[in-house]
Structure 1
Amino acid sequence: MTKILVIEDEESVRENIVELLDAEGFEALAAKNGRMGLLVAHEERPDLILCDIRMPELDGYGVLTGLRSEPTTTSIPFIFLSAKAAKTDLSLGLELGAHAYITKPFTLVELLDTIEQVLLDAASPAAPIESR
């Protein structure tokens, strides 16, 4: 079963995403901020991470930088989920090593399609995927 870590500080958003992923047959893990997300990522080694950008304690950019600096987590596929929709935000996220960037609000189909594509691409790295 594919294990996906959701790092999101808004409880209702985090719970909704986890429920959707569980219903689709994924094993969904959750963390309420970036600091906790890094801990869960190191302990659980998820197959994919979905992460918000604006969070307390450690933002999404810091999470991604932390993951990419550790040999055990550097290759985990990473998707940003954010309301920050400016081109500069997208560019920074992809430059830091995100595989995709989905802007909120998003649809279930958009989320699942992006997850599927990133997981497929993880075996043979290709250009980052931009959603929306």
Structure 2
Amino acid sequence: MTKVLAIEDDALLRDSIVNVLTLRGLTAIAAENGYVGLKLAQENLPNLVLCDVRMPGLSGYEVLKSLREDPNTATIPLIFLTAENTPEVMAMGADLGANGYLCKPFSTSELMIAIAPFVSDQ
């Protein structure tokens, strides 16, 4: 079964993502910050990571950099979740190896379209 890790500091959005993924038959794992998310990624090796860019502590950029530096997690696709859809933000993520962006707020259908190339159990 496809595992998706959602790293999001907004509890309401995080719970919403988990509910949507679970209803679609995916295994959803949730983390409230970058530190917890990085640990869960290393322990669970998800098929995809959805990660907020701006979080207290460890930012999404730092999470992605750490994932790419670890041979066990280097190839896990990561889609950034962000309210900042400026060219600078997108360029920074692309330079670090992000696989995509999903701009907040987003609908359930937008979420499913964004993750479709990376998940098999829809």
Is TM more than 0.5 here? Answer: yes
Superposition RMSD in Å: 1.0
Structure 1 residues 32-60: Cα deviation after superposition (integer angstroms, max 9, x where no partner): 00011000000011010000011111000
Partner of 1:23: 23
> Is it true that 1:101 corresponds to 2:92 in the alignment?
no
Looking at structure 1, the residues matched to 74 and 90 of structure 2 have their Cα atoms a distance apart, in angstroms, of 20
> Is it true that 1:110 corresponds to 2:110 in the alignment?
yes
Looking at structure 2, the residues matched to 118 and 40 of structure 1 have their Cα atoms a distance apart, in angstroms, of 18
* Identical amino acids, percent of aligned pairs: 46
Cα distance, 1:117 vs structure 2:
1.9
Q: Relative contact order, CA 8 A, sep 6+: which one is greater?
A: 2
Cα distance, 1:13 vs structure 2:
0.6
Cα distance, 1:118 vs structure 2:
3.5
Cα distance, 1:119 vs structure 2:
4.2
Alignment check: 8 A CA contact 2:2 2:119 kept: no
Mapping of 1:76-95 within 5 angstroms? 76-95=76-95
Alignment check: 8 A CA contact 2:78 2:100 kept: yes
Q: Supply the AA of the counterpart residue of 1:49.
A: V
Partner of 1:59: 59
Partner of 1:41: 41
Looking at structure 1, the residues matched to 32 and 67 of structure 2 have their Cα atoms a distance apart, in angstroms, of 17
Looking at structure 2, the residues matched to 12 and 111 of structure 1 have their Cα atoms a distance apart, in angstroms, of 15
Structure 1: runs of 5+ lacking an equivalent: 121-132
Looking at structure 2, the residues matched to 25 and 95 of structure 1 have their Cα atoms a distance apart, in angstroms, of 32
Using the size of structure 1 for normalisation, the TM-score is: 0.88
What count of residue pairs does the alignment treat as equivalent?
Answer: 120
Looking at structure 2, the residues matched to 52 and 75 of structure 1 have their Cα atoms a distance apart, in angstroms, of 19
Q: Supply the AA of the counterpart residue of 1:70.
A: D
Alignment check: 8 A CA contact 1:100 1:118 kept: no
